[in-house]
Chains A and B, each alone.
Chain A
Amino acid sequence: MSGTAGVQIAGTGLYPFGRHGDLSATAMGALAVRQALNEAGRDTKFQAAFCGTAYGGVAAGHRVLSELALTGGPIVDIEAGCASGAAALSMAAAAIRAGQYETVLVFGIEKMPKGIIRSSFFDPWREQAGLAAAPAYFALRAQRLMLDSGITKEHLAAVVVKNRSQGVHNEMAMFRKAVTVEDVLASKVVCEPLRLFMLCSPNEGAAAVVLRAGSGGVQLRAAALRSHLPGHVLNEGSPLSGLIDSDPIPPTALAAADAYASAGIGPAELDVVECQDTDAARELLAYVELGLCAPDELGSMLDSGATAMGGRIPVNPSGGLLSKGEPLGASAIGQVVELTHQLQGRCGPRQVDGAQVALAQTIGRGANASVTILSA
């Protein structure tokens, strides 16, 4: 760990992930921020604010803090795709470690369009040619994972069954009904091998944390952010070509190496993980990239229940994005709120017993990947 002081999660706030009619992202953000500040203490003052959002538009964070009469300090909006909130967190943590600020507000807000995410990332001709469908790229990765690691469609369905069964106990989740392998495989084929239930839904929500210099409480041990190395045709940067046999280290693995090194913690020491299950195969890729298992162990890892509640390393006790949906800018902060509550023993029926060390991971457009490590 660099710097002198530790960084503590002093307060958390969450506006449920779902669909909220006409309620604006600004209003959701204000509610989450207010909650986090209240939890941090009535007189909490912050010297800077970082807001993660991808679709929030100009000065999105300023609009939230204007609603609460909390402007005056620096407010920085950060876009890093699915890692937007984690990018905000890493900037805030670095500023505290450098001694620039004592207390920083970090929040994420989003109100996503419905259906397949339309992104300014692609040129219009690429959309016109049918080459901009995000789930189709997820499907190509899933297909390769099946070819390379012996994973089956039933394994992909088992990831959904696991996460949805965990989401039943999360009042902040969008989907709270358990599903069976048969339900998942019978849901509409979106892009073979991916069925509708294997894909997370873009949605709306907000999350906030207050970071404070100091030891004690839940500590933010590392907040690493990395992007992709060039070469691979299916990296989240969505290039149209790649080099045959090119196998660069994936951005999540880069971020994990940074985070493990700066926290002085290895994958064997983790008690609970929240990862980016944009689709069912994406969760399995994260197991490998985070060092939880080797590619040829994925099937046995799932079959053994190692990543389910009560297993060796429960993954996505919140239900994951497959249960919560994904409001891009809020998603990564939502993971940190969940894990903070896990480390504080506040999670009720979805509590991972005795959790002391937790990891959150995101990966998405850019490509951006984040790995955040917390400890009790």
Chain B
Amino acid sequence: MSELAPVTEGLFDADGLIGGACGTCEERHFPQAGHCPWCGAAAVSTVRLSSEGSLWSWTAVQTAPPGYEGSVPFGFGVVDLPADGLQVVTLLTESDPERLHVGDAMRFTTVPVGDGVSSWAFSPSTT
């Protein structure tokens, strides 16, 4: 998995998501942007986001959308990261919606999304 290049630089590494933290409103965001998306301030610093979260909404994509060359079906959802006060849109390693429930504990991982490229994902915690 570590051999794969991230789909774009600066969003995540093997240890987790990389977001932005606003020096003005103190809220976090993802991906890190030039300005805070919540208050518009320019004072944004880089912050490591939590790798532990809980499932807030989910589905599975059955047909490859335009530009995507990974496998289908794939899980897709929104995970709460309470430590960051954030909800993030993410791929899910579980592609059977019946096996997921609101509030399920989720953990950061990466998944291949085509030839030699990986993206971030969350996986149901096994513990």
Contacts and interface: CB of A to CB of B under 8 A. Distances in A.
Interface of A: 115-116, 118, 123-125, 127-133, 135-136, 139-141, 143-144, 147, 188-194, 230-231, 233-234, 239-244
Interface in B78-100: 78, 80-82, 85-89, 91, 97
Contacts of A189: 62
Given A140-B78, A230-B37, A243 B85 contact: yes
B88 A128 contact: no
Contacts of B77: 140
Given A129-B68, A132-B67, A191-B76, A241 B59 contact: no
A188 B59 CA distance: 14
B59 A128 contact: no
Given A128-B117, A243-B87, A140 B69 contact: no
- Give the most central of B66, B77, B81: most A CB within 10 Å: B66
A192 B85 contact: no
Interface centre among A188, A234, A240, A243 (most CB of B within 10 A): A240
Interface pairs A-B: 3 shortest CB-CB = A127-B67, A133-B65, A139-B59
A55 to B, nearest CB: 14
Interface residues of B, number: 43
A184 B27 CA distance: 42
B1 interface: no
B29 interface: yes
A241 B61 contact: no
A136 B76 contact: yes
Contacts of B81: 244
A123 to B, nearest CB: 8
A246 to B, nearest CB: 8
Contact of B80 (A130, A133, A191, A244): A244
A242 B91 contact: no
A118 B68 CA distance: 12
A241 B67 CA distance: 21
A132 B85 contact: no
27 contacts: A116-B65, A118-B67, A128-B68, A128-B113, A129-B119, A130-B91, A130-B113, A131-B89, A131-B91, A133-B65, A136-B59, A139-B59, A140-B58, A140-B76, A143-B57, A147-B102, A190-B63, A191-B60, A193-B97, A194-B59, A230-B38, A240-B30, A243-B27, A243-B87, A244-B82, A244-B86, A244-B87
Given A190-B62, A241-B29, A244-B86, A129 B38 contact: no
Interface of B: 7-8, 19, 27, 29-31, 37-38, 56-70, 74, 76-78, 80-82, 85-89, 91, 97, 102, 113-114, 117, 119
A113 to B, nearest CB: 9
B46 to A, nearest CB: 15
B37 A239 contact: yes
A130 B68 contact: yes
B61 to A, nearest CB: 5
A143 B38 contact: no
B71 to A, nearest CB: 10
B38 A130 contact: no
Contacts of B66: 115-116, 118, 127, 132
Nearest to A188: B62
Q: Which of B59, B69, B74, B87 is most buried by chain A, counting CB atoms within 10 A of its CB? A: B59
B89 to A, nearest CB: 5
B65 A136 contact: yes
A137 to B, nearest CB: 8
A303 to B, nearest CB: 24
A143 B75 CA distance: 14
Nearest to B70: A130
A188 B114 CA distance: 25
Contact of B7 (A128, A133, A242): A128
A231 to B, nearest CB: 6
A201 to B, nearest CB: 15
A240 B85 contact: no
A127 B113 CA distance: 10
A116 B66 CA distance: 7
A140 B57 CA distance: 6
A192 B89 CA distance: 16
Contacts of B27: 243
A128 B62 contact: no
